[in-house]
Amino acid sequence: MFDIREDDLSGAQTRALLALHLEKMHAFSPPGHALDFSGLATPEVTVWTAWDQGRVAGIGALKMLSSDTGEVKSMRTHPDFMRKGVGTAILGTIIATAKQRGLRRLSLETGSGAAFDPALSLYRRHGFEPGDAFGSYACNDFTRCLHLELG
């Protein structure tokens, strides 16, 4: 249904969706809970967008943390495409790519509260389980760390 494409972040629609993502993250999260454009435009990050009839429907990224571990980053569905499978399509692409790259684990850090419930539900449906903090993250009342063992 969606055309999933690797994205270089140069397109106006992609940049607008990332701006919306950052706006929402800043509204519902403490500072530092989302990668900005420069953080996504690094060699260790691959970004994908989902497209439907010429419109960007969603975005997500995979950041390589090591040779066997990756992190899911910057998942966002455009408001016009909510509850239409965009998150599932992007996350499926990220998981498939992680497996192709031989990763053993995917991790992610997200928030808690009503604004994050749909994302937490999506991740749990795909097998992510709560776990310990990783990288520079610290567990607290807001932060949730989830992991998916790939092999």
- What percent of the chain lies above the pLDDT cut of 70? 93
Spatial contact of 76 and 17, defined as CB atoms under 8 Å apart:
yes
Of 68, 116, 120, 56, residue with least CA distance to 91: 120
Q: What is the mean pLDDT of residues 50-70?
A: 97
Q: How far apart are CA 51 and CA 2, in angstroms?
A: 5
DSSP string, 70-124: EEEEEEEE-GGGTTTTHHHHHHHHHHHHHHHTT-SEEEEEE--SGGGHHHHHHHH
pTM: 0.93
Confidence tier at 104 by pLDDT (50, 70, 90):
very high
pLDDT digits (tens, 9 = 90+) for 70-103: 999 999 999 999 999 999 999 999 999 999 999 9
Spatial contact of 98 and 129, defined as CB atoms under 8 Å apart:
no
Task: Using the predicted structure, report yes or no on whether residue 30 has a pLDDT greater than 70.
Answer: no
Confidence tier at 17 by pLDDT (50, 70, 90):
very high
The pLDDT score that the predictor gives to residue 136 is 85
Confidence tier at 10 by pLDDT (50, 70, 90):
very high
- What percent of the chain lies above the pLDDT cut of 90? 74
Which residue shows structure tokens 């498939």?
Answer: 96
Spatial contact of 46 and 97, defined as CB atoms under 8 Å apart:
yes
Q: What is the mean pLDDT of residues 44-54?
A: 97
pLDDT digits (tens, 9 = 90+) for 37-47: 788 899 999 99
Confidence tier at 35 by pLDDT (50, 70, 90):
low
